[in-house]
Structure 1
Amino acid sequence: MALRTLLFLITNLAVVLTISLILNLLTAIGLLPPDLPLLPLLVGSFVWGVLGAWIALQFSAESAKRMMGIQLVGQGGGSAENWLHGTVSVLAQKAGLPMPEVGIYGSPEWNAFATGPSPNRALVAVSTGILQGMPPAELEAVLAHEMSHVANGDMVTMTLLQGVINAFVMFLSRAVLFLLPRGDREDGRGMAPPPTMLLIWPLEILLGVLGSLITAWFSRHREFRADAGAARLTSPGAMVGALQSLGQVENLQDPRDEPTLATLKINEPPSFLRLFASHPPLDARIRALRQAAG
């Protein structure tokens, strides 16, 4: 996790330096005024965006517990709780991972998710609906899917990716204001007056929508990887069976669903806006598993 975070920060630094060079070049050839404070705005936006994402990541497990009312379980509970805890323990050993926290949240939906800032501080939670309704072999595959997310570091990558996108949204929406004409300066440039600054909000919304296309695409990609990891930890047939079972109940939803948790769950209800979906269609995931299994 530390190496992944370091590489990600190095990548962010490279992005900032690249954009800085582009801004300097545009200024040198006269396309941008020389006195615009775009570089400080760029650096500040990235520091704010990435730092905010990092802080959110550190509290992700605790936030999930609070929002979903998750009850942690261990050995010594009921038979279902003992089975759940024991199965996650076996999967963690197979994957070479530390034992995560295991929890249950009350909901009729059939779903599960993993979150947390690192494998050492991960949380795997399932709904009461899936725990009570899904066959054990298929539920084991669902848990293996979530453990694959932990092994792949998907929580870290998704959170920091969102931080970078937030930084770009913040930078671009405000940079536009510096480029708008201003009547009280000789060069007609500078920070826009208060009425024009109201454009920040619609610009942030527009750019945020475009940025969500990127996070949704990456989220769909990581679901295929987690499915493949689950097939290795259990079996392709069990994972296919789990996805088929989810397809039969995918219209069951939790009214407390939060957008921040939607990308973490194993399944989401069907959507007409597929470009914005955090999960691929179930039939596409089943097809990918069958093709990989030959």
Structure 2
Amino acid sequence: MKSRFGSRIALFVLTNLAVVAMLAVVGRLLGVDNFLARQGSGLNLTTLLIMSAVMGFGGSIISLLMSKPMAKWSTGAHVIDSPRTEAEQWLVETVRRLARDAGIATPEVAIYDSPDMNAFATGARRNNALVAVSTGLLHGMRRDEVEAVLGHEVAHVANGDMVTLTLLQGVLNTFVIFLSRVVGFIVDRFLNRSEDGEESSGMGPGYFLTSLVLQIVFGIGASIIVAWFSRRREFRADHGGATLVDPGAMARALDRLRRQQGEPSALPANMQAFGISGGGMMALFASHPPLEQRIQRLVDGTWRN
């Protein structure tokens, strides 16, 4: 199980890819690709770029609008409309206070049943967001540590991370769709050139196969960029959370998670609420910076930089 912020990013990216793929299939069925080719003269790059932008930003925007209901559904989180216990009352009041201090409207507050110590925030707008925590987090941490976790999540909302991610993903989608089709067109024309030198329309089987493969390859590259962006935003959320609450409490919460595994250098896969494990090439796809680095920044005060 990935971190909840990491899972939120992964869920957004996967939903985005599914939507873009669906739009591509619909476009092909409607003959959009063939419309892009000028018979005998080549590919209409202007029209292709516009189509790519519509599909690219359409996929990311739809994914953003689906982010909150998808997060609720995937975790089974229930929103606290009327607190029934003292713990729920404290949770709602704490999120309300942190949201006020951060200058945003109070997000919906939810709890989901899980032994993992996790929390997440999501939503299409800063003033219409959701902050959810697991039962494992509420039972496994001291309240000042839970408050630090909540400050981190509220900072994600206040920083507009999901909206910024949507814009970034839309731009990346646009270039993935555009470049894969341009290269596919060139490859198809080269493969189907006749003996007398006459070129094909560029929209044959080679175009569709090449553009499909390259959309996957370029999409992987785009995922690396999204992961890099996510790591940068984690540092910024640490800064926001430490400003709202207490950097010491946040550092203790991170260290508590690290000590759960019994090894100071890594976290188990199901305890990655604030960090990720793994190295080498997999580090390129990490949604979080190394846990030790984040703790060190909180301890030595460099989170302010």
Q: TM-score range by the shorter chain?
A: 0.7 to 0.9
- Per the alignment, residue 257 of structure 1 pairs with none
Alignment deviations for residues 139-175 of structure 1 (CA, whole Å, 9 cap, x no partner)? 1001000111111100101122112212211111111
- Per the alignment, residue 244 of structure 2 pairs with 233
Q: For 2:270, what is the secondary structure of its paired residue?
A: coil
Quote the offset at 1:268 in angstroms.
4.6
- Per the alignment, residue 153 of structure 1 pairs with 160
Q: 1:291 aligns with which of 274, 279, 301?
A: 301
1:183 aligns with 2:200: no
Structure 2: distance between partners of 1:58 and 1:237 = 35
1:224 aligns with 2:241: no
1:134 aligns with 2:141: yes
Quote the offset at 1:275 in angstroms.
1.3
Q: For 1:104, what is the secondary structure of its paired residue?
A: strand
Q: Which blocks of at least 5 consecutive residues in structure 2 are unaligned?
A: 1-39, 261-266
Q: For 1:201, what is the secondary structure of its paired residue?
A: helix
Structure 2: distance between partners of 1:52 and 1:193 = 26
Give percent identity, aligned residues only: 47
Quote the offset at 1:195 in angstroms.
4.7
Q: CA RMSD in A?
A: 2.2
- Per the alignment, residue 281 of structure 1 pairs with 290
Taking structure 2 as the reference length, the TM-score comes to 0.77
- Per the alignment, residue 212 of structure 2 pairs with 201
1:67 aligns with 2:62: no
Q: Which amino acid aligns with 1:253?
A: N
- Per the alignment, residue 54 of structure 2 pairs with 47
Structure 1: distance between partners of 2:47 and 2:177 = 13
Checking the alignment, whether the CA contact within 8 Å between 2:276 and 2:287 is kept in structure 1 is: no
Q: For 1:122, what is the secondary structure of its paired residue?
A: strand
Checking the alignment, whether the CA contact within 8 Å between 1:145 and 1:266 is kept in structure 2 is: no
Q: For 2:124, what is the secondary structure of its paired residue?
A: coil
Quote the offset at 1:293 in angstroms.
6.7
- Per the alignment, residue 253 of structure 2 pairs with 242
Checking the alignment, whether the CA contact within 8 Å between 1:145 and 1:229 is kept in structure 2 is: yes
- Per the alignment, residue 13 of structure 1 pairs with none
Q: For 2:84, what is the secondary structure of its paired residue?
A: coil
Alignment deviations for residues 103-135 of structure 1 (CA, whole Å, 9 cap, x no partner)? 111222211111001122100011111111111
- Per the alignment, residue 11 of structure 1 pairs with none
Structure 1: distance between partners of 2:78 and 2:119 = 14
Checking the alignment, whether the CA contact within 8 Å between 1:103 and 1:124 is kept in structure 2 is: yes
1:188–1:267 distance in 2 versus 1, CA, 3 Å: same
Q: For 1:117, what is the secondary structure of its paired residue?
A: strand
Quote the offset at 1:220 in angstroms.
0.4
- Per the alignment, residue 27 of structure 2 pairs with none
- Per the alignment, residue 270 of structure 2 pairs with 253
**Higher relative contact order (Cα pairs below 8 Å, separated by 6+ residues):** 2
Structure 2: distance between partners of 1:100 and 1:165 = 29
Q: Which amino acid aligns with 2:289?
A: P
1:110–1:197 distance in 2 versus 1, CA, 3 Å: same
Q: Which amino acid aligns with 1:120?
A: N
Structure 1: distance between partners of 2:156 and 2:127 = 13
Q: Which blocks of at least 5 consecutive residues in structure 1 are unaligned?
A: 1-32, 255-264
Q: 2:87 aligns with which of 80, 102, 106?
A: 80
Structure 2: distance between partners of 1:151 and 1:191 = 47
